Amino acid sequence: MNAQRTNADANANTRITTAFLLGWSISELFGRYRKGVRPPPAQKTPRPADYARRLDVSNGSVEHATDSFLFAAQRVVQFYRELGYESDEQASALTKEIYALPQKIDDWLEHRATSFYPQRELRDLLNDWTMQVWARLDGESAAGARAFTAGMSLADTYWYMRLPRQRPKGWKANQSSEEDWRRLLSKYRLDIEQSRLRTLQSDLPRYVVPVIRQHLQAWSIGTELVYQNGRLTRDKKNTKSPMLEPDDETALQEALARQVQNWEAMLFGLREATTFLWTRDRRLIPVLRFAALFGVVLVTALFLLVVPAIVAYLLALGPLPLLLRLLTENQAKITEWLAVVSLLWTILVAVPVPIVLRAAYQFTRSAQQWLDDKLTVWFIARRTLVMWAAYMG
């Protein structure tokens, strides 16, 4: 029975993870198209027959924008199939259109087709289909539906942005407000993303959630950027950021794109989070852990030494002389009472010693693990954080 329950829990966690990654992949698919991916120019002269690029999988990433667009569509199809809601033969009309996307994209990118969906039509298709998927997930598990939303919303942090040169000319401010960096990177919005991620900590790869949450805190700059002496700076007291110069906004989005690459690598398992640690970090973690534990033990020992001394001093000033006088006056009667108290005290001290030692050992082990996790997360977050100003001159 316990084994069946464990397997059921593991399966539920896997489905929640799949729902999260499906949501992310849908956002990435639509975002790549909105960012202007287009078929590469047809080659006038064919490449030599013995020419071949390195395989993308061996590199751990898909570098070309067109290949990444196709890969995102393949991910959407594969993750949805893993959920097992529909077979290929009995799929709904909407799902069949989604299943056809990778081939349509490939035909378009390879110039076998002259057109692809207009942006609005692709948006409507994805919106209608995601509502269908969301309803199915919610019917099975509210946690799965929340994970689906969390993955899509987190990915939107970057993938719903467009560079200034990619936006239609003549747009008014209210038309582009949803993709405005000030809205997508607002502290209010990214606090919500952190809350959503916190509920998924047991479902996503180890360390990833607390690491990304630290990154989101660093990227909560939607209202905090301001120009001072012609230079863009961050002021946490600022309440409204100005429109950025096109070059500055482009540099900001380039930094965010690099940050999102790190998130994707950890979330999709392309890289385990601990592989971002430097060798020096791995050496420092046990040293810092030992130093922290030593500090705690030292403070505790000092506390145990100082407090009894203070108590003894206070007793010596008042109650102790009175107690000694009473003992002297009633020595015969109190001797028997003290013998009984001594026996009881010996029993009370001797019996719990193994329990106390075991509790102390378990506490030490738990403290070591807690410190290891906190230090590991801090170092991974440090190595994978891309600062918002990283690409600004």
At 351 the pLDDT is: 55
pLDDT category at 308 given cuts 50, 70, 90 is low
More confident residue, 186 or 51: 186
Cβ contact 376:277 at 8 Å:
yes
Residues 116 and 183 in one domain: no
- What pTM, to 2 d.p., does this model score? 0.84
At 28 the pLDDT is: 98
Is 170 a member of any domain?
no
Structure tokens that stand for 311 in this block: 């108590």
237: nearest Cα among 252, 226, 249: 226
Tell me the mean pLDDT in the region 369-378.
94
Cβ contact 271:60 at 8 Å:
yes
pLDDT category at 56 given cuts 50, 70, 90 is confident
| DSSP result, 163-215 | -GGGSPTT--GGGSGGG-HHHHT-HHHHHHHHHHHHTTTTTSPTTHHHHHHHH
Is 381 a member of any domain?
yes
Give the integer Cα–Cα distance in Å for 194 and 217: 9
Residues 280 and 202 in one domain: yes
Contact residues for 171 (Cβ-Cβ < 8 A; gap 6+): none
Residues 383 and 279 in one domain: yes
More confident residue, 107 or 352: 107
Residues 250 and 344 in one domain: yes
More confident residue, 56 or 185: 185
Residues 200 and 261 in one domain: yes
Residues 200 and 278 in one domain: yes
Give the integer Cα–Cα distance in Å for 198 and 177: 28
pLDDT in tens, 213-231: 999 999 999 999 999 998 9
Give the integer Cα–Cα distance in Å for 212 and 155: 12
Is 72 a member of any domain?
yes
Is 125 a member of any domain?
yes
Residues 101 and 197 in one domain: no
Is 333 a member of any domain?
yes
Residues 204 and 127 in one domain: no
Residues 88 and 211 in one domain: no
Residues 247 and 350 in one domain: yes
Which of 89, 114, 149 terminates a domain? The answer is 149
Core vs surface per residue 170-204: b (16+ CB within 10 A) or e: eeeeeeeeebbbbbbbbbebbeebbebbeebeebb
More confident residue, 361 or 104: 104
Is 45 a member of any domain?
no
At residue 245, the 3 state secondary structure works out as coil
Structure tokens that stand for 224 in this block: 């905090």
Is 250 a member of any domain?
yes
Which of 114, 149, 184 terminates a domain? The answer is 149
Residues 101 and 242 in one domain: no
Q: Report the first-to-last Cα separation within the chain, whole angstroms.
A: 62
Q: Which of 41-45, 178-182, 252-256, 294-298 has the lowest mean pLDDT?
A: 41-45
Query: Does 116 score more than 90 pLDDT?
Result: yes
Q: What residues make up the domain containing 105?
A: 1-39+60-149
Is 320 a member of any domain?
no
Tell me the mean pLDDT in the region 315-329.
57
How many domains does the chain divide into? Answer: 2
Residues 22 and 78 in one domain: yes
Give the integer Cα–Cα distance in Å for 150 and 153: 5
Say which DSSP state 237 is in.
Answer: T
